[in-house]
Amino acid sequence: MTVYFIAAASAVGLVIIAALLVRRVRSGTDDEAPDGPTTGHTGAMLSALFLLAFAIAIVVPWTTTDSARLNTYAESQAIVEGAWSATDLPPTYSNRVRSELYDYAQFVRTQEWRLMANGRLSPDGWTRLERLRRDVAAFPAKSTDQKDTQAAVLDDIADITSARRQRAMDAKTTPPPGLLAVTLLTGLIVLLFPILAGARPRGMSILPLALMAALLGIGMYLTFDISHTFTGALGVKPDAFTAILDELQRIPGSG
């Protein structure tokens, strides 16, 4: 953060030095008009800076959210594949695996999703997968088919674990705090710039300024609303896990 302040102070100092040198070297025209060249150039650059920061603040979280949503479907599909693979195990082990997978999906949907709003996953989820992995690995396979089934179930559990790790990373992913601050600051400056430049809106000229203020307010709210992957109106919902609960119950022999 200190580097940012130093960069800003250096830029301001450069402008002041340049203005003093130009004033000394050659004569110029004082520019005090709200629609003068200084105000016009500054306003255009501030608008461009705001649009750049706003675009990054929207596109980056949007891309992250879309990727995280696809990953939740990959994790839920791996759960379903694991349940189907387990149908070739003896009934006692098969029912246990399918029951554990169902409970895991239900746990993620109902309990863990609330924790992800704070950027973390529950340790209980990891414990459930580790326990299931140990149980399947300890299965005393007596034939080649059973060994192949055991390996298939372990592969599906590995896929679930991998997708879960990615979900843990997605839950912690947020835009840099400095980016949101710059977006908010430049938005406020763009909003107040005509007044700061000396303009005094009157009559109908206030209407477009008020409209711009409303749209900027919506845009600022949007940047903060989508800054976290699993919260907000545009955040990822547990739809992928909700959708597979009925399918898991329809798998033959599931409890």
pLDDT in tens, 6-55: 655 665 565 556 555 555 655 556 555 555 566 666 667 777 877 888 88
pLDDT confidence band for 254 (50 / 70 / 90): very low
DSSP tally for the chain: helices H, then strands E: 9, 0
Q: For residue 162, is pLDDT > 90? A: yes
The per-residue pLDDT of the chain, averaged, comes to: 81
C-alpha distances (whole Å) from 255 to each of 94, 136, 139, 169, 237 are 10, 17, 19, 32, 26
pLDDT in tens, 66-114: 999 999 999 999 999 999 999 988 888 889 999 999 999 999 999 999 8
Q: What is the mean pLDDT of residues 126-150?
A: 91
Under DSSP, the state recorded for 228 is S
Higher pLDDT, 177 or 149: 149
CA distance 39 to 16: 16
Q: For residue 176, is pLDDT > 70? A: yes
pLDDT on residue 255: 38
CA distance 150 to 252: 18
Sketch the domain layout of the chain as residue ranges: 40-250
Q: For residue 124, is pLDDT > 80? A: yes
Q: What is the mean pLDDT of residues 149-162?
A: 94
C-alpha distances (whole Å) from 30 to each of 15, 20, 158 are 16, 13, 71
130-133's contacts with Cβ under 8 Å and 24+ in sequence apart are: 131/100, 132/97, 132/100, 132/101, 132/104, 132/157, 133/157, 133/161
Angle between helix axes 37-85 and 144-172 (nearest 10 degrees) is 160
